[in-house]
Amino acid sequence: MKKINIENLIIILIILIVPISIYGNLFENDLFFDIKTGESILKYGIDFKDHFSFHQNLIYLYHHWFYDIVIFFIYKIFKYNGIRIFFVLINSLFGFIYFNALNKYSPNKIFSAIITLFILIITNYAFQSRVQSITYILFFLEIIYLNKLYAQGKKKDIFILSTISILILNLHMPLWILFVILLLPYLFEATLYLIHNRKSELKKESLIEKTKNYKITIICFLIILFTGLITPLKLNSYTFFIKVLKSNSYSFISEMQKTILFYHYWVWIILLIFIILTYSKLLRIKIRDFMLVIGLFVFSLLANRNVIYFLIVCPFIIIKSIEYEKISNTNLIKKIKCMLNNSHKTIIKIFSIVFISIIYIFNIKINFINITKKINDAYPDKTVLYIKKNLDYKNIKQYNDFNYGSYLEFYNIPVFIDSRAEVYVKNFNGGKDIVSDYLKTNDMKSYKEVFKKYKFNYAIVETNSNINYYLSINTNWKLIFKEKGFRLYKKIQ
**Torsion sign over Cα 261, 265, 268, 274:** negative
d(CA 171, CA 134): 8
**The pairing of beta strand 458-462 with beta strand 477-483:** unpaired
Q: What pTM, to 2 d.p., does this model score? A: 0.88
Q: Classify residue 261 by its DSSP letter.
A: G
Confidence (pLDDT) at 368: 52
Percent of the chain with pLDDT over 90: 50
Edge-to-edge strands, sheet with 398-399: 398-399, 458-462, 486-491, 477-483
Q: What is the mean pLDDT of the chain?
A: 84
pLDDT given for residue 340 in this prediction: 47
* pLDDT category of residue 4 using cuts at 50, 70 and 90: low
pLDDT at 377 over 60: yes
Check residue 202 and give its pLDDT.
54
Model confidence over 111-169: pLDDT tens digits? 888 888 889 888 888 888 899 999 999 999 999 999 999 888 888 999 999 999 999 99
94 pLDDT above the threshold of 70: yes
At 337 the pLDDT is 53
> What is the pLDDT, as a whole number, of residue 1?
40
Q: What angle do CA 30, 68, 244 make, to 5 degrees?
A: 60
pLDDT, position 217: 87
User: b or e along 116-133 (b: 16 or more beta carbons within 10 Å of the residue's beta carbon)?
Assistant: bbebbebbbebbbbbbbb
pLDDT confidence of residue 301 = 87
Q: What residues contact 375, with CB distance under 8 A and at least 6 apart? A: 26, 27, 80, 381
* pLDDT score of 234 more than 60: yes
Q: Is the pLDDT of residue 182 over 90?
A: yes
**What's the CA gap between 204 and 132, in Å, rounded?**
38
The pLDDT of residue 205 is 52
Q: What is the DSSP letter of 16?
A: I
Is 60 exceeded by the pLDDT of residue 17?
yes
pLDDT > 70: percent of the chain? 78
State the Cα–Cα distance between residues 101 and 112, nearest whole angstrom: 9
HSE-CB of 328 using CA atoms within 13 angstroms: 7
CA–CA gap between residue 170 and residue 144 (Å, rounded): 21
Q: What is the pLDDT of residue 384?
A: 96
Which are the contacts of 365, defined by CB distance < 8 A and separation ≥ 6?
none
